[in-house]
């Protein structure tokens, strides 16, 4: 498989093979209805599109067209279908035009679509195959009841891209890496993120852009089991109650508990 093929597109093509592609979406939003182990699934991925009308959203970012496109794909999910977000996005599309037109509204529309789909009974899962940065992940993936990820150095989960953090903090990227090794909350590798109870399954894949049949089958089995067995799907807020989070997110749990007590009182 060509190195130019993004991870999101590569995995979408594997899962959507033989399925029905949905039309009417931006070139950067891939949508298909293809069964997984007999279960109807709508697959949604955001991919690079060099010809996208907003320059800031040409490298796989979640821009206005992408966020509204994902929202439309999720809201239009066929009855009784599950939804899987294939996540490989380096962040939201920051730009003067995007901000002025209403990027925040578009991202909110995507979040709301996932929430409403979940509340309407559609099983929602996410598979992180590449970058899951900031607003892009919040709008496409974070609302899932089950989150799996490739156990690979190229999987990057954080509130900001590393270059952006370096600019904002005026620190060298080597210093950021050192701090991340000491403070897991500042790290961006998937193993550190999993320590907070946010990941349900990690998968080892030799080449994330070209998984072998065995690697693909392993991911597909776990994903299918999660979607078919409702007990494997949780509300996002329940991640704070997972065994890993009880230790690593003790302060967050305490703050939320005190806020809830104050609010109810």
Residues 74 and 173 in one domain: yes
Contact assessment for residue 73 and residue 44, using Cβ atoms and an 8 Å cutoff = yes
Residues 216 and 249 in one domain: no
- The gap between the terminal CA atoms of the chain, to the nearest Å, is 58
Residues 166 and 255 in one domain: no
Residues 197 and 256 in one domain: no
Residues 42 and 111 in one domain: yes
pLDDT bracket for residue 147 (50, 70, 90): very high
pLDDT bracket for residue 44 (50, 70, 90): very high
Q: Is residue 82 part of a domain?
A: yes
Judged by DSSP in three states, 10 sits in helix
Q: Is residue 35 part of a domain?
A: yes
Residues 229 and 242 in one domain: no
Residues 69 and 160 in one domain: yes
Q: Is the pLDDT of residue 259 over 90?
A: no
pLDDT (mean) for 225-240: 77
Domain count, the chain: 2
Q: Is the pLDDT of residue 232 over 70?
A: no
Q: Residue 44: name the closest of 107, 110, 102 by CA.
A: 110
Q: Is the pLDDT of residue 3 over 60?
A: no
The two three-digit tokens of residue 137, written as one number: 């992940």
Q: Is residue 1 part of a domain?
A: no
Q: Residue 248 sits in which domain range? A: 235-265
Residue 30, CA distances (Å) to 48, 93, 210 in order: 10, 18, 18
Q: Is residue 195 part of a domain?
A: yes
pLDDT of residue 171: 81
Q: Is residue 196 part of a domain?
A: yes
Extended beta strands in the chain, E state = 20-21, 29-33, 41-46, 82-89, 124-133, 146-150, 156-158, 201-203
Residues 173 and 257 in one domain: no
pLDDT bracket for residue 141 (50, 70, 90): very high
Q: Is the pLDDT of residue 2 over 50?
A: no
Q: Is the pLDDT of residue 245 over 80?
A: no
pLDDT of residue 200: 92
């Amino acid at each position: 498989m060509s190195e130019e093929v993004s991870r999101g597109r590569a995995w979408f093509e594997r899962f959507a093979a033989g399925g029905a592609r949905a039309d009417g979406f931006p070139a950067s939003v891939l949508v298909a209805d293809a069964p997984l182990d007999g279960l109807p699934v709508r697959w949604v991925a955001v991919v690079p599109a060099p010809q996208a009308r907003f320059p800031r959203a040409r490298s796989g970012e979640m821009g206005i067209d992408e966020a509204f496109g994902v929202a439309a794909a999720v809201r239009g999910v066929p009855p009784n279908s599950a939804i899987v977000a294939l996540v490989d996005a380096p962040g939201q599309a920051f730009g003067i035009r995007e901000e002025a037109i209403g990027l925040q509204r578009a991202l909110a529309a995507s979040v709301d679509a996932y929430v409403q789909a979940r509340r309407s009974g559609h099983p929602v899962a996410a598979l992180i195959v590449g970058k899951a940065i900031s607003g892009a992940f919040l709008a496409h993936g974070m609302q899932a009841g089950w989150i799996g990820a490739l156990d690979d150095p190229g999987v990057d989960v954080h509130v900001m891209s590393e270059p952006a953090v370096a600019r904002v903090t005026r620190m060298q990227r080597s210093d950021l890496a050192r701090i991340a090794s000491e403070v897991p909350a500042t790290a961006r590798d998937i193993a550190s993120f999993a320590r907070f109870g946010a990941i349900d399954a990690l998968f080892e894949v030799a080449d994330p852009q070209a998984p072998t049949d065995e690697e693909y089958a392993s991911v597909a089995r776990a994903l299918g089991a999660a979607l078919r067995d409702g007990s494997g799907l949780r509300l996002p807020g329940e991640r704070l109650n997972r065994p890993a989070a009880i230790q690593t997110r003790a302060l967050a749990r305490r703050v939320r508990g005190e806020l809830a007590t104050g609010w109810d009182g």
